[in-house]
Amino acid sequence: MRLAVFLPELVRHLFKKPATVDYPFKKLEVPKDFRGTPFLHPDICIACRACERDCPAEAIEITAVSDVEKKFKMIIHNDRCVHCAQCVDSCPTNPVKAMEMDHLFELACFDRHDLKMEWIFVRALPKKEPKPAAPAAGPAPS
Amino acid sequence: MKFNIPIGPQHPALKEPISLRMTVEGEVIRDVDIRLGYNHRGLEKLAEERSFIQCIYLTERICGICSHSHATCFVQGVEKLMEIEPPKRGAYIRYLVAELERIHSHLLWLGVAGHEAGFDSFFMYTWRDREVVMDLLEMISGNRVHYAMNTIGGVRRDLDEAMVKKILDGIQVLRTRSEFYFKIGANEPTFVGRLAGVGYLSKQQAIDLCAVGPTARASGITADVRKDDPHAVYDEVPFDVCTADSCDVLGRTVVRIKELMESYKICEFLLKNLPAGQIAVKAPKRAKPNEVVSRYEAPRGENIHYIKSNGTEKPERLKVRAPTLANYPAAVEMLKNGFIADIPLIFAAIDPCICCAERTVELVNARTGEDRVLRFSQLRALAAKRSKNLPVQRNAVWPF
């Protein structure tokens, strides 16, 4: 046991760059699968309301604007959103999801109502699953 | 002459604000009265109005540090209720994240212990290294704090080869750093002298007061849910339960550093034996009427969730027993006959996240009703002064 065992480490770090990043001027990159804010592809959405049902923060609101035209309005309350991406998981559209997350994380603003995002769209028809190609005909049984 | 010191209950950055009323004689604490219930969020009631899927994200938000612990504990229970099992790969990834979370929690605690003991450079270096594991968790799950990895019947995100390699590299970096900290702890007499003998909790007291987690293990009890009641993958993974016999804050530090080493071992085992296949199975929406108790070893100790279902898609009752609650009676016993200047250190040692809060201590003269208010920074200055005047405990040794 001796005194000041930590000292060599401290001296070594005098000549190293700081571990922190100069934030507003330099930004770290977020990973590929980062969960930012959710957004909608209105041309694919089939208005099944699965995201509205599963959202734990009740941040998604879907209302019918016109029943005749099959027009819907979706509001995402980003002030309530907890960024769990459950809406993306619940979305049944395939292979491109109608709900997706972007990489935005600097969401601060002066009024929480500015965070509201809304889309008015005509419901897309659910695409049918492409049938698996018929197996190639084997040699005819003799 | 006896004084009464109320501490709390308002600690803005605290998950569980509590009020401690201490009766002191001079600088020595004679009695502690603990009052709870200042941060009642109505979470259990809220869970009754949420579906099982929504409840995962709700339980995740019980705690910020061990968010995965609560979500996993809940999901384990719900999976038992629904009679489904996560596929092997899903389970491996789930408990890999659990161990990474344990690493980040213990590194955080080590820094806090260094900070409370007046060893601030130690605090900064451990927290810098903690960023390595935080970045790994962000890469796996897409977020630094609330990982949201669990879903009923498995996990939500898969690992690929590049990720596995990155995690293994990160663990290697952390292992060398942790070995360095272990060496520092063993060789720095001021650090060891400050922690040794503070917050004594004998083995018998720890058993009587039902202490859990590192607090119990530092008193020589081999209690670990991962070993006692192996859930999911823990019966396949080789690891040891770490204990210490010194029964004080030093022992709690040693237990946590040793557990870090075990967690690295577990992570490497899980990554090297990661089976191929599905990561989740499809789960039903409803659960049959039944009840279940789910146990999980969180970084702070045993976490218990009780879930009752009634055939609908919402739980009828959810009861959460977080490990900090189980450690309060032990904390009272530890504080008794200690010094006022040791309050931050002893309370930090049960890891209640109380240490990140700036708070006030009020000293009331029982005879005259006169009171003086101490800020937490002043309290820490007192602690630093006391440790400066403390004769270096030459006989205090780092228990290997």
Domains contained in chain A, CATH given: 36-122 (3.30.70.3270)
Inter-chain CB proximity B187 and A5 less than 8 Å: yes
Q: How far apart are the C-alpha atoms of B328 and B313, rounded to whole Å?
A: 35
pLDDT band (50, 70, 90) for residue B357: very low
For chain B, strand residue ranges (E) read 2-7, 19-25, 28-35, 150-151, 154-155, 290-298, 301-309, 315-321, 360-365, 371-375
Burial of B155 (0-12, 13-18, 19+ CB in 10 A): buried
Q: What is the pLDDT of residue B102?
A: 92
Tokens 């799950």 sit on residue: B141
Among residues B197, B239, B238, B204, the alpha carbon closest in space to that of B220 is found at B204
pLDDT band (50, 70, 90) for residue B8: low
* Residue A49 Rama label (left phi>0; alpha psi -120 to 50; beta): left
Inter-chain CB proximity B142 and A35 less than 8 Å: yes
What average pLDDT does the structure give for chain A? 83
Which of A104-113, B33-42, B185-194 is modeled with the greatest confidence? A104-113
CA-atom Rg of chain A in angstroms:
25
Q: What is the pLDDT of residue B138?
A: 92
Domain final residue pick, B300, B322, B344: B322
From B50's Cα to the closest Cα of chain A, the distance in A is: 8
Q: How far apart are the C-alpha atoms of A65 and A68, rounded to whole Å?
A: 9
Q: What is the pLDDT of residue B33?
A: 78
Q: What is the pLDDT of residue B352?
A: 66
pLDDT at B368 over 70: no
What average pLDDT does the structure give for chain B? 82
In a domain, residue B121? The reply is yes
Residue B335 shares a structural domain with residue B294: no
Residues B201/B195, Cβ–Cβ less than 8 Å = no
Quote the percentage of chain B above a pLDDT of 70: 85
Inter-chain CB proximity A82 and B57 less than 8 Å: yes
B142 touches chain A (CB under 8 A): yes
Q: Which of the residue ranges A60-74, B51-65, B185-199 would you say has the lowest mean pLDDT?
A: B185-199
In a domain, residue B244? The reply is no
Tokens 């049938």 sit on residue: A131
Angle between helical axes of B249-272 and B88-116 (0-180°, round to 10): 150
Q: What is the pLDDT of residue B396?
A: 63
Among residues B154, B297, B185, B159, the alpha carbon closest in space to that of B249 is found at B185
Residue B295 shares a structural domain with residue B148: yes
Tell me the sheet residues that pair with B262. none
What sign has the CA pseudo-torsion B154, B157, B161, B165?
A: negative
B293 touches chain A (CB under 8 A): no
Quote the percentage of chain B above a pLDDT of 90: 28
Of A6, A35, A101, the CB nearest to B121: A6
Q: How far apart are the C-alpha atoms of B55 and B60, rounded to whole Å?
A: 8
Residue B65 shares a structural domain with residue B146: yes
Judged by DSSP in three states, B224 sits in coil
Between A3 and B104, name the one with better pLDDT.
B104
Q: What is the pTM of this model?
A: 0.84
pLDDT at B13 over 70: no
ipTM: 0.83
Residue B25 shares a structural domain with residue B172: no
Angle between helical axes of B88-116 and B67-82 (0-180°, round to 10): 150
Q: How many domains would you assign to chain B?
A: 2
pLDDT digits (tens, 9 = 90+) for B130-146: 999 999 999 999 888 88
Chain B residues near residue A5 by CB distance under 8 angstroms: 183-184, 187-188
Q: Which of the residue ranges B21-30, B94-103, B370-379 would you say has the lowest mean pLDDT?
A: B370-379
Domain final residue pick, B322, B344, B363: B322
Burial of B165 (0-12, 13-18, 19+ CB in 10 A): exposed
Q: Which of the residue ranges A67-81, A110-124, B186-200 would you say has the lowest mean pLDDT?
A: B186-200
In chain A, which among 29-48 make CB contacts under 8 A with chain B?
Answer: 30-31, 33-35
In chain B, which among 112-131 make CB contacts under 8 A with chain A?
Answer: 121-122, 125, 128, 131
Quote the percentage of chain A above a pLDDT of 70: 87
pLDDT at B182 over 80: yes
Between B33 and B83, name the one with better pLDDT.
B83
Residue B6 shares a structural domain with residue B119: no
pLDDT band (50, 70, 90) for residue B375: low
Q: Which of the residue ranges A15-19, B51-55, B107-111, B176-180 would you say has the lowest mean pLDDT?
A: A15-19
Mutation to test the A interface, candidates B55, B58, B62, B143, most A Cβ within 10 Å: B143
SS (H, E, C) A81-125: CCCCCHHHHHCCCCCCCCEEECCCCCCCCCCHHHHEEEEEEECCC
Domain final residue pick, B276, B306, B322: B322
> Which residues, other chains included, contact B393 with Cβ-Cβ below 8 Å and sequence gap of 6+?
B189, B192, B193, B196, B197
In a domain, residue B235? The reply is no
Nearest CA in chain A to B149: A84
> Which residues, other chains included, contact B394 with Cβ-Cβ below 8 Å and sequence gap of 6+?
B189
Inter-chain CB proximity B188 and A33 less than 8 Å: no
Q: What is the pLDDT of residue A137?
A: 46
Angstrom CA distances, B337 to B17, B83, B166, B355, B390, stand at: 23, 50, 48, 21, 17
Chain B residues near residue A58 by CB distance under 8 angstroms: none
Mutation to test the B interface, candidates A86, A90, A100, A107, most B Cβ within 10 Å: A86
pLDDT at B101 over 50: yes
Residue B304 shares a structural domain with residue B383: no
pLDDT digits (tens, 9 = 90+) for B237-282: 888 888 888 888 888 888 999 999 999 999 999 999 999 989 999 8
pLDDT digits (tens, 9 = 90+) for B383-400: 777 767 666 665 666 655
Q: How far apart are the C-alpha atoms of B334 and B341, rounded to whole Å?
A: 13
Among residues B5, B191, B57, B226, the alpha carbon closest in space to that of B111 is found at B191
In a domain, residue B232? The reply is no
pLDDT band (50, 70, 90) for residue A11: confident
Q: What is the amino acid identity at position B380?
A: R
Residue B274 shares a structural domain with residue B385: no
Of B56, B141, B189, the CB nearest to A3: B189
Between B12 and B154, name the one with better pLDDT.
B154
Residues B196/B224, Cβ–Cβ less than 8 Å = no
- Which residue segment(s) compose the domain that B110 sits in? 43-198+259-322
Inter-chain CB proximity A9 and B125 less than 8 Å: yes
> Which residues, other chains included, contact A89 with Cβ-Cβ below 8 Å and sequence gap of 6+?
A54, B151, B156
In a domain, residue B212? The reply is no
Residue B89 shares a structural domain with residue B152: yes
B187 touches chain A (CB under 8 A): yes
A92 touches chain B (CB under 8 A): no
Q: Which helix (H) or strand (E) holds B263?
A: helix B249-272
pLDDT band (50, 70, 90) for residue B51: very high
A68 touches chain B (CB under 8 A): no
Residue B93 shares a structural domain with residue B175: yes
- DSSP 8-state code for residue B194: H
Residue B24 shares a structural domain with residue B154: no
Residue B354 shares a structural domain with residue B315: no
Q: What is the amino acid identity at position B79?
A: E
B157 touches chain A (CB under 8 A): yes
Of A3, A33, A56, the CB nearest to B50: A56
- DSSP 8-state code for residue A126: P
Residue B349 shares a structural domain with residue B381: yes
pLDDT at B373 over 80: no
